[in-house]
Amino acid sequence: MSKQDGSSRQVTTGPVDDSATPILHVDMDAFFVSVELLSRPELRGKPVLVGGAAGRGVVSAASYEARKYGVNSAMPMSVALQRCPNAIVLPGDYRKYREYSDRVMELFGEMTPLVEPLSIDEAFLDVGGARRLHGSPAQIGWTIRERVRIETGLTCSIGVAATKYVAKVASSRAKPDGLLVVPAADTIAFLHPLPVSALWGVGKVTEERLARLGLRTVADVAAMPHEALVRAVGRALADRLTHLANGDDPREVSVHRVEKSIGHETTFSHDLTDPEAIKRALLDLSNDVAVRVRRAGVVARTVSLKLRYGDFRTVTRSRTLAEPTDVAKRIYEEAAAALEGLVGDGARIRLIGVRAEQLRETGGAAPLWDPDEEWREAERTIDEVAAKFGRHTVRPASLLGRGRRAVDLSRRDSDPDEA
């Protein structure tokens, strides 16, 4: 069941058939502005712009209050301020936006491994294989929205559909802060009343060209004789528009990305407060990371530590090594050094992560001076034992007798900025 309010916003409010709708498109609402308002709650409900105010500055993001004046992203700031003179302009903090983006993308990855980031603030998810763990696609969508709100203070809009294209259209219809499920059987009924601008590939020029042919809705495009559409916009675009107008989109969610780092992280079933327990977890993670670094035939120049506290506040610290390494002892020592000052005084730790960054291939050549040579040989011996008898057959003394982590969310990470 869905409803439409006085605007074009459309959301699902009750039971709906989501049995054949495994694709989610999650889009953060006014992302840059929303992140800024976390530390400026007094600006909520006001027209806020993020971007450069001087010279040829442009709008990077606009609050929904500012959008009512016809302001949108990529617009020259001078034009935006003419349309909305009372707008409040804030400079961007892209490092902060990246941190929040990483937290959100990580949350998506906890629901399904099939995540395809499109940009810093949106992604496609295929949740077809996650039903047993997390419920139906609609239930997963509700869970994601709630977790994003609780864990970051931000809101997102989600489209749930049978294809990527329809899911993306649905998320745009649900904005802001809504969820819309389009049952597979209702795909055509959902798409056809929409304006032609809802079709991917239809910009202002193409929209005007289609309007001259009397094509103003998606239904008009679907009903247009194909060869006539080819003559109007060319074969490639005509083929795409015809497929989309009929709800056809065979593309799958793609997770192939260039790996620029190797990391493991753990979310604990209960917050940790004991510094020694935290260090043991750090050592465990460092060993896991080192094994994969060696297996990949690379060494790391930078070690990054990630901590998430019980209140969901997240901090990261990085340390650059004099010589790149693949040795767990070195990775642990650097991560432990980064940990100093971050725990203690009753701090409650929800998540710990260790990541090896600035990777490069070893090429089989060792540096002239290698302070970790003996440890490296020992750890490679352990690798050989593990290959024969199983992982954790041989472990550091401080880890003996410990079971595996209660909740292990470890996985490979990559930095979107470097991909």
Q: Which helix (H) or strand (E) holds 335?
A: helix 328-339
Residue 259, CB-side half-sphere exposure with 13 Å CA sphere: 16
Helix, strand, coil % in the chain, rounded to nearest 5: 40, 25, 35
Concatenated DSSP letters of 22-83? -EEEEEETTHHHHHHHHS-GGGTTS-EEEE--STT-BEEEE-HHHHTTT--TTSBHHHHHHH
Q: Annotated catalytic sites, by residue?
A: 122
User: Which two three-digit tokens encode residue 139?
Assistant: 């239930």
Say how far apart CA 56 and CA 106 lie, in whole Å: 35
Preceding peptide of 176 cis, ω within 30°: yes
Say how far apart CA 151 and CA 143 lie, in whole Å: 12
User: Which two three-digit tokens encode residue 158?
Assistant: 């989600």
Is 274 known as a binding-site position? no
Is 370 known as a binding-site position? no
Query: How far, CA to CA in Å, does 36 sit from each of 30, 40, 89, 147, 255?
Result: 10, 6, 11, 19, 30
- Annotated binding-site residue numbers for Mg(2+): 27, 121
- Annotated binding-site residue numbers: 27, 121
